[in-house]
């Protein structure tokens, strides 16, 4: 059985060009500052190291935007973060992912059929979380239900 849940009003912040030799410290500082501001961090995605830098992005509630701007000012990134608000997160969860094949393909078929581009994707053992623009969310949801029932 596959379950699909939606979370609306999702923001994403991405810190890019984080120096590889200090990435753990920088990321820790971001998460510590967010915790002090009582910001709940959800999906976390870290890019592989490219040359000498990396990037990290994560989601939080749109309502916490002022707090995250304060966090960004506190941690002083080399480059201003990219921020994207007003999105919808889909959590597609199924025990089939543990041993089955083609589950991710099905999610991407739904994205393609909806003409929706994922803004952020994370996975776990039995789930895929996908953030899309709010304007794409209705069509993506319809396509997911066509595929997964």
- The domains located in the chain, with CATH, are 2-7+86-148 (3.30.70.260), 9-85 (3.30.70.260)
Nearest to 107 by CA among 84, 128, 134, 79: 128
pTM of full prediction above 0.85: yes
pLDDT per residue as tens, the chain (149 positions): 899 999 999 999 999 999 988 989 999 999 999 999 999 999 999 988 888 899 999 999 999 999 999 999 999 998 999 999 999 999 999 999 999 899 999 999 999 999 999 999 999 999 999 999 999 999 999 999 999 98
Q: What is the distance between the alpha carbons of residues 36 and 120, in angstroms, rounded to a whole number? A: 25
């Amino acid at each position: 059985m596959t379950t699909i849940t939606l979370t609306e009003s999702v923001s994403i912040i991405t810190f890019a060009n984080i120096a590889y030799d200090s990435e753990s410290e920088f990321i820790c500082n971001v998460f510590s500052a967010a915790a002090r501001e009582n910001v709940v961090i959800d999906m976390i995605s870290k890019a592989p190291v490219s040359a000498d830098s990396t990037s990290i992005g994560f989601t939080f509630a749109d309502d916490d935007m002022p707090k995250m701007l304060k966090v960004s000012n506190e941690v002083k990134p080399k480059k201003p973060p990219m921020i994207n608000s007003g999105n919808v997160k889909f959590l597609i969860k199924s025990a089939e992912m543990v041993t089955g094949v083609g589950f991710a393909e099905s999610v991407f078929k739904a994205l393609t059929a909806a003409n929706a581009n994922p803004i952020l994707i994370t996975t776990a053992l039995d789930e895929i979380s996908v953030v899309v623009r709010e304007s794409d969310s209705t069509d993506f949801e319809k396509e997911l239900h066509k595929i997964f029932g």
